[in-house]
Amino acid sequence: MSSLRAGRRKGRRGPGAPLTFGDRVLVVVVGTLLYVVLKILGWTTRKRYVGPGVDELFARFASAEPSILAFWHGRMVMMPFAYRGAGACIMNSRHRDGRLISHAIHLLGIEVVRGSSTRGWVGGMKGLLAAHARGRDLVIVPDGPRGPRCRAKSGAVQLARATGAPIFPVAYGASRARTLSRSWDWLCIPMPGARITYVVERAIRVPRDASAEEIEAARSTLETRLNDAVRVADSAAGVAPARTFEYIGAVAERSES
């Protein structure tokens, strides 16, 4: 009986469990500090936008036509500052670390719904579809929340089929950055004063009646264009090609073979 009670207590501390008072304080304090750090990076970095999809994406921002923006988990730090639309919504995980990030994202003016590809996916998708119905742009991290790095799951494609909105693959490169190569995503954190190059690839459109084969083809195209965007962004930032290849890994080897 005691082991059963222990198991129940342990279960309540899972990703969907209510946060303790200490956890809630931590989320607010650390999430706010993270927001401040991001704002400093936003203020101190110099940015430019290139790529074949830039004009169309910015035209959609101006006309408030909802779009889907997709980028790799390792290139998420500077993405809030690439956004120029009227309002965006992203799905983020339910565990405590995810809520820290969600708090910072919310302070940056981006709506957050709970869920991930591993937990709460159905609820998260419903939240994103509701946000789209309100005219929000949707933000998707196709290799999140735990990888494999630079390998796209099908969530963005499923959203595009359900909503009719185009997917714009986006990446950034930084002239000065620290890459957390011990983390699965190789998170790229630009330094203050860095030059940031955002690359927007051509949009991907998915018919509402797309077959399983068409969905897989769109997923593969998204993966390829995201990695192409990384290559262009890193090259513009002066990153060694070998380093970019190491980040993209087996995906690059497969696509170039």
The predicted-structure confidence for 148-190, as pLDDT tens digits, reads as follows: 999 999 999 999 999 999 999 999 999 999 999 999 999 999 9
Distance between CA atoms of 224 and 227, rounded to whole angstroms?
5
Residue range 227-242: average pLDDT?
96
In a domain, 67, yes or no: yes
Distance between CA atoms of 196 and 198, rounded to whole angstroms?
6
Distance between CA atoms of 167 and 184, rounded to whole angstroms?
25
In a domain, 156, yes or no: yes
In a domain, 141, yes or no: yes
In a domain, 118, yes or no: yes
In a domain, 5, yes or no: no
pTM of this structure:
0.86
Domain count across the chain: 1
Q: What is the pLDDT of residue 50?
A: 98
Strand partners, 70: 140, 169
**Comparing C-alpha atoms, which of 94, 83, 150 is closest to residue 118?**
94
Residue that wins the pLDDT comparison between 254 and 135: 135
The predicted-structure confidence for 75-130, as pLDDT tens digits, reads as follows: 999 999 999 999 999 988 666 566 778 889 989 999 999 766 556 567 788 999 99
In a domain, 4, yes or no: no
In a domain, 214, yes or no: yes
- Given a cut of 70, whether residue 11 has pLDDT beyond it is no
CATH number of the domain encompassing residue 76: 3.40.1130
Residue that wins the pLDDT comparison between 194 and 124: 194
Boundaries of domain holding 95: 19-256
Mean pLDDT, the chain, whole residue set: 88
Q: What is the pLDDT of residue 27?
A: 75
Residue 20's alpha-carbon distances to 84, 105, 159, 185, 223, in angstroms, are 36, 21, 33, 28, 38
In a domain, 81, yes or no: yes
- Given a cut of 70, whether residue 35 has pLDDT beyond it is yes
Q: Report CA dihedral (127, 138, 63, 221) to the nearest 10 degrees.
A: -140
Q: What is the pLDDT of residue 29?
A: 86
